[in-house]
Structure 1
Amino acid sequence: MAIRYYNIKPWGRSLKEYVRMFNLTPDDLERKILGCGDGSASFNAELTEQGGNITSVDPVYIFSADQIRQRIDKTYNDIIDQTQKNQDKFIWQEIGSIEELGRIRMSAMEKFLKDFAGGVMQNRYMPGELPFLPFSDKEFDLALCSHLLFLYTENLSLEFHLKSIEELCRVSNEVRIFPLLDANADRSPYAEPIIDYLRARNRNVKEIKVAYEFQKGGNTMLRIC
Protein backbone atom coordinates (compact mmCIF):
# COMPACT_ATOMS: atom_id res chain seq x y z
CA MET A 1 0.00 0.00 0.00
CA ALA A 2 1.25 3.49 -0.82
CA ILE A 3 1.53 6.30 1.69
CA ARG A 4 -0.27 9.35 0.35
CA TYR A 5 -0.40 12.73 2.05
CA TYR A 6 -2.61 15.28 0.36
CA ASN A 7 -0.95 18.13 2.22
CA ILE A 8 2.07 18.68 4.43
CA LYS A 9 1.59 17.21 7.90
CA PRO A 10 2.86 18.42 11.30
CA TRP A 11 5.12 15.68 12.66
CA GLY A 12 7.68 16.70 15.26
CA ARG A 13 11.26 15.52 15.48
CA SER A 14 13.74 16.19 18.26
CA LEU A 15 17.17 17.79 18.56
CA LYS A 16 18.69 14.32 18.93
CA GLU A 17 17.16 13.29 15.61
CA TYR A 18 18.27 16.48 13.87
CA VAL A 19 21.84 15.91 15.06
CA ARG A 20 21.86 12.47 13.47
CA MET A 21 19.88 13.34 10.33
CA PHE A 22 22.22 16.21 9.48
CA ASN A 23 25.54 14.99 10.95
CA LEU A 24 25.56 18.04 13.22
CA THR A 25 28.78 18.49 15.17
CA PRO A 26 29.17 20.57 18.35
CA ASP A 27 30.70 23.28 16.14
CA ASP A 28 27.68 23.14 13.81
CA LEU A 29 25.36 23.68 16.75
CA GLU A 30 27.18 26.92 17.59
CA ARG A 31 26.53 28.35 14.12
CA LYS A 32 23.63 30.62 13.20
CA ILE A 33 21.09 28.07 12.01
CA LEU A 34 17.90 28.28 9.96
CA GLY A 35 15.44 25.41 10.27
CA CYS A 36 13.26 25.56 7.17
CA GLY A 37 9.93 23.80 7.40
CA ASP A 38 10.55 22.83 11.03
CA GLY A 39 6.83 22.78 11.74
CA SER A 40 6.19 21.22 15.14
CA ALA A 41 9.72 19.89 15.71
CA SER A 42 11.29 20.50 19.11
CA PHE A 43 14.69 21.25 17.53
CA ASN A 44 14.39 24.99 18.09
CA ALA A 45 13.15 24.67 21.67
CA GLU A 46 15.86 22.21 22.69
CA LEU A 47 18.74 23.97 20.93
CA THR A 48 17.67 27.30 22.41
CA GLU A 49 17.79 25.72 25.88
CA GLN A 50 21.41 24.82 25.14
CA GLY A 51 22.24 28.38 24.10
CA GLY A 52 22.03 27.87 20.35
CA ASN A 53 21.23 30.52 17.75
CA ILE A 54 18.31 29.06 15.81
CA THR A 55 15.48 30.50 13.73
CA SER A 56 12.69 28.29 12.39
CA VAL A 57 10.52 29.29 9.44
CA ASP A 58 7.27 27.61 8.47
CA PRO A 59 3.88 28.76 7.13
CA VAL A 60 2.15 27.12 10.10
CA TYR A 61 3.68 29.73 12.41
CA ILE A 62 1.04 32.21 11.33
CA PHE A 63 -1.29 30.32 13.69
CA SER A 64 -1.44 30.23 17.48
CA ALA A 65 -0.20 27.30 19.55
CA ASP A 66 -3.79 26.22 20.16
CA GLN A 67 -4.56 26.28 16.44
CA ILE A 68 -1.42 24.27 15.67
CA ARG A 69 -2.39 21.77 18.36
CA GLN A 70 -5.78 21.37 16.70
CA ARG A 71 -4.06 20.63 13.40
CA ILE A 72 -1.80 18.08 15.08
CA ASP A 73 -4.82 16.41 16.67
CA LYS A 74 -6.62 16.36 13.32
CA THR A 75 -3.76 14.76 11.37
CA TYR A 76 -2.10 12.52 13.97
CA ASN A 77 -4.34 9.50 13.45
CA ASP A 78 -3.96 9.66 9.66
CA ILE A 79 -0.17 9.58 9.90
CA ILE A 80 -0.19 6.75 12.44
CA ASP A 81 -2.73 4.79 10.38
CA GLN A 82 -0.76 5.12 7.14
CA THR A 83 2.46 4.18 8.94
CA GLN A 84 0.72 1.16 10.48
CA LYS A 85 -0.36 -0.04 7.04
CA ASN A 86 3.14 0.50 5.60
CA GLN A 87 5.38 -0.82 8.36
CA ASP A 88 7.56 -2.57 5.80
CA LYS A 89 8.84 0.83 4.63
CA PHE A 90 10.47 1.54 8.00
CA ILE A 91 13.21 0.10 10.21
CA TRP A 92 11.78 -0.76 13.63
CA GLN A 93 14.92 -0.91 15.75
CA GLU A 94 15.55 2.27 17.73
CA ILE A 95 11.85 3.01 17.42
CA GLY A 96 10.35 -0.37 18.19
CA SER A 97 6.67 0.03 17.45
CA ILE A 98 3.92 2.26 16.10
CA GLU A 99 2.96 3.11 19.68
CA GLU A 100 6.50 4.17 20.55
CA LEU A 101 6.69 6.26 17.38
CA GLY A 102 3.52 8.07 18.42
CA ARG A 103 4.88 8.76 21.91
CA ILE A 104 8.21 10.07 20.57
CA ARG A 105 6.56 12.36 18.04
CA MET A 106 4.01 13.70 20.52
CA SER A 107 6.74 14.35 23.09
CA ALA A 108 8.65 16.48 20.57
CA MET A 109 5.49 18.31 19.51
CA GLU A 110 4.53 19.05 23.12
CA LYS A 111 7.97 20.62 23.69
CA PHE A 112 7.45 22.73 20.59
CA LEU A 113 3.96 23.84 21.65
CA LYS A 114 5.16 24.88 25.12
CA ASP A 115 7.98 26.90 23.57
CA PHE A 116 6.07 28.40 20.67
CA ALA A 117 4.51 31.56 22.13
CA GLY A 118 7.75 32.66 23.76
CA GLY A 119 9.70 31.76 20.65
CA VAL A 120 7.43 33.90 18.49
CA MET A 121 8.06 36.86 20.80
CA GLN A 122 11.81 36.28 20.40
CA ASN A 123 11.50 35.94 16.60
CA ARG A 124 12.73 32.35 16.78
CA TYR A 125 9.60 31.12 14.99
CA MET A 126 8.81 33.11 11.87
CA PRO A 127 5.99 32.58 9.38
CA GLY A 128 7.24 32.08 5.85
CA GLU A 129 7.57 29.44 3.19
CA LEU A 130 9.64 28.30 0.29
CA PRO A 131 10.49 29.31 -2.34
CA PHE A 132 10.53 32.89 -0.97
CA LEU A 133 11.98 33.37 2.51
CA PRO A 134 11.84 36.60 4.56
CA PHE A 135 15.59 36.79 5.16
CA SER A 136 18.60 38.68 3.84
CA ASP A 137 21.32 37.20 1.64
CA LYS A 138 23.64 34.91 3.63
CA GLU A 139 21.87 35.73 6.88
CA PHE A 140 22.59 32.23 8.20
CA ASP A 141 25.62 29.99 8.45
CA LEU A 142 23.66 26.78 8.02
CA ALA A 143 20.16 26.01 6.71
CA LEU A 144 18.53 22.66 7.49
CA CYS A 145 15.48 21.30 5.71
CA SER A 146 14.00 18.15 7.23
CA HIS A 147 11.25 16.00 5.71
CA LEU A 148 9.92 18.54 3.25
CA LEU A 149 11.89 18.70 0.02
CA PHE A 150 12.08 15.30 -1.71
CA LEU A 151 9.72 13.73 0.86
CA TYR A 152 6.73 15.52 -0.69
CA THR A 153 7.74 14.75 -4.28
CA GLU A 154 4.12 13.91 -5.10
CA ASN A 155 2.92 17.29 -3.83
CA LEU A 156 5.72 19.66 -4.84
CA SER A 157 7.04 20.06 -8.39
CA LEU A 158 10.62 19.82 -9.58
CA GLU A 159 10.50 23.54 -10.36
CA PHE A 160 9.43 24.23 -6.77
CA HIS A 161 12.35 22.15 -5.49
CA LEU A 162 14.87 23.96 -7.68
CA LYS A 163 13.62 27.41 -6.70
CA SER A 164 13.48 26.41 -3.04
CA ILE A 165 17.04 25.12 -2.96
CA GLU A 166 18.30 28.23 -4.73
CA GLU A 167 16.49 30.30 -2.11
CA LEU A 168 18.04 28.32 0.74
CA CYS A 169 21.45 28.88 -0.84
CA ARG A 170 20.68 32.60 -1.06
CA VAL A 171 19.97 32.99 2.65
CA SER A 172 22.62 30.59 3.99
CA ASN A 173 26.26 29.73 3.41
CA GLU A 174 25.52 26.01 3.62
CA VAL A 175 22.38 23.93 3.08
CA ARG A 176 21.62 20.40 4.24
CA ILE A 177 18.50 18.49 3.16
CA PHE A 178 17.24 15.19 4.60
CA PRO A 179 16.07 12.69 3.41
CA LEU A 180 16.36 12.15 -0.35
CA LEU A 181 13.42 9.75 -0.28
CA ASP A 182 9.75 10.35 -0.95
CA ALA A 183 6.97 9.41 1.47
CA ASN A 184 7.03 5.79 0.25
CA ALA A 185 10.74 5.32 0.97
CA ASP A 186 11.66 5.46 -2.72
CA ARG A 187 14.48 7.69 -3.87
CA SER A 188 12.89 10.87 -5.16
CA PRO A 189 13.00 11.11 -8.96
CA TYR A 190 14.03 14.73 -8.39
CA ALA A 191 17.30 13.82 -6.67
CA GLU A 192 19.51 13.31 -9.72
CA PRO A 193 18.11 16.22 -11.79
CA ILE A 194 18.60 18.55 -8.83
CA ILE A 195 22.15 17.36 -8.17
CA ASP A 196 22.98 17.79 -11.86
CA TYR A 197 21.36 21.23 -11.94
CA LEU A 198 23.33 22.44 -8.93
CA ARG A 199 26.65 21.07 -10.15
CA ALA A 200 26.09 22.69 -13.55
CA ARG A 201 25.91 25.98 -11.64
CA ASN A 202 29.18 25.27 -9.85
CA ARG A 203 27.62 24.43 -6.51
CA ASN A 204 29.58 22.11 -4.26
CA VAL A 205 27.10 19.25 -3.81
CA LYS A 206 27.66 16.05 -1.84
CA GLU A 207 25.37 13.23 -0.83
CA ILE A 208 26.55 12.16 2.61
CA LYS A 209 25.65 9.09 4.64
CA VAL A 210 24.29 9.86 8.11
CA ALA A 211 23.83 7.90 11.33
CA TYR A 212 20.03 7.94 11.10
CA GLU A 213 17.67 5.65 9.24
CA PHE A 214 13.98 5.20 9.98
CA GLN A 215 12.63 5.05 6.44
CA LYS A 216 14.38 2.14 4.75
CA GLY A 217 17.21 3.56 2.69
CA GLY A 218 16.73 7.02 4.18
CA ASN A 219 20.23 7.45 5.52
CA THR A 220 21.75 10.16 3.34
CA MET A 221 21.52 13.93 3.28
CA LEU A 222 22.33 16.41 0.54
CA ARG A 223 24.93 19.03 1.47
CA ILE A 224 25.19 22.13 -0.70
CA CYS A 225 27.60 25.02 -0.31
Structure 2
Amino acid sequence: DVQAAAAKVRTAWLAYARDTLPAPVTGYVAQRRVQVGQRVAPGTPLMAIVPLDGVWVDANFKEVQLKHMRVGQQVTLSSDVYGRGARYHGRIEGFSAGTGSAFATLPAQNATGNWIKIVQRLPVRIALDPAELAAHPLRIGLSMTVDADTRDESGSQLGAARNTRYSTDVFAQYDAQADAEIDRIIKQNEMVSRAMAAQPQPQSQSQRVATHQRNANPG
Protein backbone atom coordinates (compact mmCIF):
# COMPACT_ATOMS: atom_id res chain seq x y z
CA ASP A 1 0.00 0.00 0.00
CA VAL A 2 2.83 2.38 0.85
CA GLN A 3 4.59 1.69 -2.45
CA ALA A 4 1.37 2.18 -4.40
CA ALA A 5 0.72 5.49 -2.63
CA ALA A 6 4.33 6.57 -3.26
CA ALA A 7 3.94 5.83 -6.98
CA LYS A 8 0.80 8.03 -7.10
CA VAL A 9 2.62 10.86 -5.30
CA ARG A 10 5.56 10.57 -7.72
CA THR A 11 3.26 10.72 -10.77
CA ALA A 12 1.39 13.75 -9.43
CA TRP A 13 4.62 15.53 -8.46
CA LEU A 14 6.23 15.04 -11.87
CA ALA A 15 3.05 16.11 -13.69
CA TYR A 16 2.98 19.31 -11.63
CA ALA A 17 6.72 20.01 -12.00
CA ARG A 18 6.83 19.45 -15.76
CA ASP A 19 4.30 22.13 -16.60
CA THR A 20 7.39 24.28 -17.27
CA LEU A 21 9.62 23.08 -20.13
CA PRO A 22 13.28 24.06 -19.65
CA ALA A 23 15.54 24.47 -22.67
CA PRO A 24 18.91 22.68 -22.77
CA VAL A 25 20.63 25.78 -24.18
CA THR A 26 20.28 29.55 -23.97
CA GLY A 27 19.40 31.06 -27.32
CA TYR A 28 16.83 32.78 -29.49
CA VAL A 29 13.40 31.44 -30.38
CA ALA A 30 12.89 30.57 -34.05
CA GLN A 31 10.14 28.75 -35.92
CA ARG A 32 7.59 29.07 -33.14
CA ARG A 33 4.67 26.77 -33.85
CA VAL A 34 2.68 27.18 -30.62
CA GLN A 35 0.39 29.96 -29.46
CA VAL A 36 -0.78 31.04 -26.02
CA GLY A 37 -3.68 28.90 -24.81
CA GLN A 38 -3.06 26.13 -27.32
CA ARG A 39 -3.23 22.52 -26.09
CA VAL A 40 -0.27 20.42 -27.16
CA ALA A 41 0.27 16.68 -27.02
CA PRO A 42 3.51 15.01 -25.89
CA GLY A 43 6.07 15.01 -28.66
CA THR A 44 4.66 18.07 -30.45
CA PRO A 45 7.43 20.44 -31.72
CA LEU A 46 6.87 23.84 -30.11
CA MET A 47 9.76 25.96 -31.36
CA ALA A 48 13.41 25.94 -32.33
CA ILE A 49 16.04 27.52 -30.08
CA VAL A 50 19.20 28.77 -31.78
CA PRO A 51 22.30 29.45 -29.60
CA LEU A 52 23.81 32.26 -31.68
CA ASP A 53 26.83 32.48 -29.37
CA GLY A 54 27.97 29.04 -30.50
CA VAL A 55 27.33 28.94 -34.24
CA TRP A 56 29.81 27.58 -36.76
CA VAL A 57 30.33 27.84 -40.51
CA ASP A 58 29.89 25.02 -43.02
CA ALA A 59 32.04 26.09 -45.99
CA ASN A 60 31.23 24.18 -49.19
CA PHE A 61 34.61 23.82 -50.89
CA LYS A 62 35.03 22.17 -54.27
CA GLU A 63 36.53 18.70 -54.24
CA VAL A 64 39.57 19.96 -56.19
CA GLN A 65 40.31 22.39 -53.32
CA LEU A 66 40.52 19.77 -50.57
CA LYS A 67 43.89 18.22 -51.40
CA HIS A 68 45.94 20.39 -49.02
CA MET A 69 43.23 21.15 -46.46
CA ARG A 70 43.76 19.71 -42.97
CA VAL A 71 42.11 19.88 -39.56
CA GLY A 72 43.46 22.75 -37.47
CA GLN A 73 44.34 25.11 -40.33
CA GLN A 74 43.62 28.79 -39.78
CA VAL A 75 40.76 30.40 -41.69
CA THR A 76 39.77 34.01 -42.34
CA LEU A 77 36.13 34.76 -43.03
CA SER A 78 33.93 37.70 -43.91
CA SER A 79 30.16 37.98 -43.99
CA ASP A 80 27.98 39.68 -46.58
CA VAL A 81 26.08 41.27 -43.72
CA TYR A 82 29.05 43.30 -42.43
CA GLY A 83 31.22 43.30 -45.55
CA ARG A 84 35.00 43.15 -45.66
CA GLY A 85 35.28 45.53 -42.72
CA ALA A 86 34.41 42.80 -40.20
CA ARG A 87 36.84 39.89 -40.24
CA TYR A 88 36.36 36.57 -38.50
CA HIS A 89 39.15 34.17 -37.61
CA GLY A 90 38.58 30.49 -37.11
CA ARG A 91 40.01 27.03 -37.57
CA ILE A 92 38.98 23.94 -39.50
CA GLU A 93 37.38 21.40 -37.17
CA GLY A 94 36.50 18.64 -39.60
CA PHE A 95 35.09 17.53 -42.92
CA SER A 96 31.73 16.07 -43.77
CA ALA A 97 31.50 12.34 -44.48
CA GLY A 98 29.88 13.00 -47.86
CA THR A 99 29.04 15.67 -50.38
CA GLY A 100 25.81 17.57 -50.38
CA SER A 101 24.41 15.67 -53.35
CA ALA A 102 25.13 12.32 -51.66
CA PHE A 103 22.76 13.17 -48.80
CA ALA A 104 20.12 14.81 -50.97
CA THR A 105 16.54 13.60 -50.86
CA LEU A 106 16.92 12.26 -54.42
CA PRO A 107 20.65 11.57 -54.91
CA ALA A 108 21.91 11.33 -58.48
CA GLN A 109 21.98 7.71 -59.69
CA ASN A 110 22.78 8.15 -63.39
CA ALA A 111 23.95 4.78 -64.75
CA THR A 112 22.87 5.18 -68.38
CA GLY A 113 26.38 6.04 -69.61
CA ASN A 114 25.41 9.55 -70.69
CA TRP A 115 26.96 11.09 -67.62
CA ILE A 116 28.24 14.64 -67.34
CA LYS A 117 30.89 15.23 -64.71
CA ILE A 118 29.88 17.87 -62.18
CA VAL A 119 32.33 19.20 -59.60
CA GLN A 120 31.05 18.25 -56.16
CA ARG A 121 31.30 20.30 -52.98
CA LEU A 122 32.14 19.00 -49.52
CA PRO A 123 31.04 20.80 -46.34
CA VAL A 124 33.98 21.83 -44.12
CA ARG A 125 33.15 22.79 -40.54
CA ILE A 126 34.88 25.92 -39.24
CA ALA A 127 34.84 27.07 -35.61
CA LEU A 128 34.72 30.82 -35.01
CA ASP A 129 36.35 33.05 -32.41
CA PRO A 130 33.73 33.68 -29.65
CA ALA A 131 34.94 37.25 -29.05
CA GLU A 132 34.60 38.19 -32.72
CA LEU A 133 31.25 36.43 -32.87
CA ALA A 134 30.01 38.47 -29.91
CA ALA A 135 31.18 41.71 -31.56
CA HIS A 136 29.49 40.90 -34.87
CA PRO A 137 26.68 38.38 -34.31
CA LEU A 138 25.74 36.07 -37.15
CA ARG A 139 22.47 34.35 -38.04
CA ILE A 140 21.73 30.94 -39.41
CA GLY A 141 21.92 30.67 -43.20
CA LEU A 142 24.01 33.77 -44.00
CA SER A 143 26.53 33.86 -46.83
CA MET A 144 30.22 33.85 -45.88
CA THR A 145 33.47 34.21 -47.82
CA VAL A 146 36.19 31.84 -46.58
CA ASP A 147 39.97 31.96 -47.12
CA ALA A 148 41.87 28.96 -45.72
CA ASP A 149 45.62 28.96 -45.08
CA THR A 150 46.72 25.52 -46.35
CA ARG A 151 50.48 25.90 -45.77
CA ASP A 152 50.46 23.86 -42.55
CA GLU A 153 49.59 20.29 -43.53
CA SER A 154 50.52 18.67 -40.22
CA GLY A 155 46.90 18.04 -39.28
CA SER A 156 44.76 15.11 -40.35
CA GLN A 157 42.12 15.00 -43.04
CA LEU A 158 39.65 13.30 -40.71
CA GLY A 159 38.49 15.04 -37.56
CA ALA A 160 38.16 13.28 -34.23
CA ALA A 161 34.92 11.35 -33.96
CA ARG A 162 32.81 13.15 -31.41
CA ASN A 163 29.21 14.14 -30.89
CA THR A 164 27.92 17.50 -29.72
CA ARG A 165 25.06 16.89 -27.31
CA TYR A 166 22.99 19.39 -25.39
CA SER A 167 21.42 18.07 -22.21
CA THR A 168 19.87 19.33 -19.00
CA ASP A 169 19.74 17.74 -15.56
CA VAL A 170 16.57 19.53 -14.52
CA PHE A 171 14.49 16.37 -14.88
CA ALA A 172 16.90 14.52 -12.60
CA GLN A 173 16.29 17.26 -10.05
CA TYR A 174 12.55 16.67 -10.39
CA ASP A 175 13.05 12.99 -9.56
CA ALA A 176 15.14 13.87 -6.51
CA GLN A 177 12.51 16.35 -5.34
CA ALA A 178 9.77 13.74 -5.76
CA ASP A 179 11.80 11.23 -3.72
CA ALA A 180 12.33 13.82 -0.99
CA GLU A 181 8.60 14.59 -0.85
CA ILE A 182 7.75 10.87 -0.61
CA ASP A 183 10.27 10.39 2.21
CA ARG A 184 8.84 13.39 4.06
CA ILE A 185 5.30 12.03 3.86
CA ILE A 186 6.36 8.57 5.02
CA LYS A 187 8.34 9.94 7.97
CA GLN A 188 5.47 12.22 8.94
CA ASN A 189 3.04 9.30 8.92
CA GLU A 190 5.47 7.19 10.97
CA MET A 191 5.71 9.92 13.60
CA VAL A 192 1.92 10.17 13.80
CA SER A 193 1.62 6.39 14.13
CA ARG A 194 4.22 6.25 16.91
CA ALA A 195 2.56 9.11 18.77
CA MET A 196 -0.80 7.36 18.61
CA ALA A 197 0.76 4.09 19.77
CA ALA A 198 2.38 5.83 22.75
CA GLN A 199 -0.94 7.25 24.00
CA PRO A 200 -2.91 5.14 26.57
CA GLN A 201 -5.70 3.21 24.94
CA PRO A 202 -9.25 4.03 26.18
CA GLN A 203 -10.79 1.28 28.31
CA SER A 204 -13.95 -0.50 27.24
CA GLN A 205 -17.15 -0.54 29.33
CA SER A 206 -16.50 -4.02 30.75
CA GLN A 207 -12.94 -3.09 31.72
CA ARG A 208 -14.16 0.01 33.56
CA VAL A 209 -16.81 -2.03 35.46
CA ALA A 210 -14.24 -4.65 36.46
CA THR A 211 -11.82 -2.01 37.67
CA HIS A 212 -14.53 -0.29 39.69
CA GLN A 213 -15.53 -3.54 41.36
CA ARG A 214 -11.92 -4.30 42.28
CA ASN A 215 -11.56 -0.86 43.81
CA ALA A 216 -14.84 -1.20 45.73
CA ASN A 217 -14.10 -4.69 47.18
CA PRO A 218 -10.44 -4.87 48.05
CA GLY A 219 -9.32 -8.27 49.39
The TM-score with structure 1 as length reference comes to 0.19
More strand by share: 2
More helix by share: 1
Give the greater-gyration-radius structure (CA): 2
